[in-house]
Structure 1
Amino acid sequence: MQTAIKLILTILLFGCLIDFPYGYYQFVRFAALVGFGYLAYCSNQQEYKNEAFIYLVLAILFQPFIKIALGRTIWNIVDVVVGIGLIVSLFLSKHTNK
């Protein structure tokens, strides 16, 4: 389940680089809040405190209720960095589970 959430969030975040209607970005913010919140909960349950903290911070950063205005360029950089981080975490979690 966590792998699917990471993949979906990665696709959604990379989709933010395309010029979509504003509703898409609102959806991504809500999906990121829910997804990162779930990942934070799962990481906390597995006692991966550092990961849980990172996911919690990301959930707060992307939450749609009190928007953080960074400008389109900075948000694009954030989206790419977080997307790459999710991909890296997929590979790292596969190696640590073996």
Structure 2
Amino acid sequence: MEKLLKIFLFIFLFGCLIDFPYGYYQFVRFAALVGFGYLAFNANEQGYKNEAFVYLALAVLFQPFIKIALGRTIWIIVDVMVGIGLIVSLFFPKSKTK
């Protein structure tokens, strides 16, 4: 489930590079909030504290309720970096920190 969620988030984030109607970006923000929230909870339950913190920070960054105005260019960079990070996380083992 976690791998599939990461792949979907990757696709959604890279979809932000295309000029879609504003509703798509709102959907991505909500989907990212829910997805990263789930990943943070799951990582915390498994004892991956660093990973849980990163996912929680991403959930806060992408949340749709209090928008963080970074500008289109910076959001594109953030979307690409987070998307690449999601794909990379599929191929490298996690490290536990207590």
Listed as ranges, the matches of 1:59-78 within 5 Å are 59-78=59-78
Structure with greater helix percent: 1
Separation of aligned partners in 2, 1:66 and 1:90: 30
Q: Deviations 1:42-91 (Å, cap 9, x if unpaired)?
A: 00000000000000000000000000000000000000000000000001
Listed as ranges, the matches of 1:2-21 within 5 Å are 2-21=2-21
Taking structure 2 as the reference length, the TM-score comes to 0.94
Separation of aligned partners in 2, 1:13 and 1:41: 21
2:81 maps to 1:81 = yes
Separation of aligned partners in 2, 1:53 and 1:62: 14
Separation of aligned partners in 1, 2:92 and 2:68: 30
Where 1:41 maps in the other structure, the secondary structure is helix
* Percent of aligned pairs with the same amino acid: 77
Structure 1: segments with no counterpart, 5+ residues? none
In the TM superposition, structure 1's runs of 4+ consecutive aligned residues that sit over 3 Å from their partners are none
Q: State the number of aligned residues.
A: 95
Structure 2: segments with no counterpart, 5+ residues? none
Separation of aligned partners in 2, 1:64 and 1:92: 30
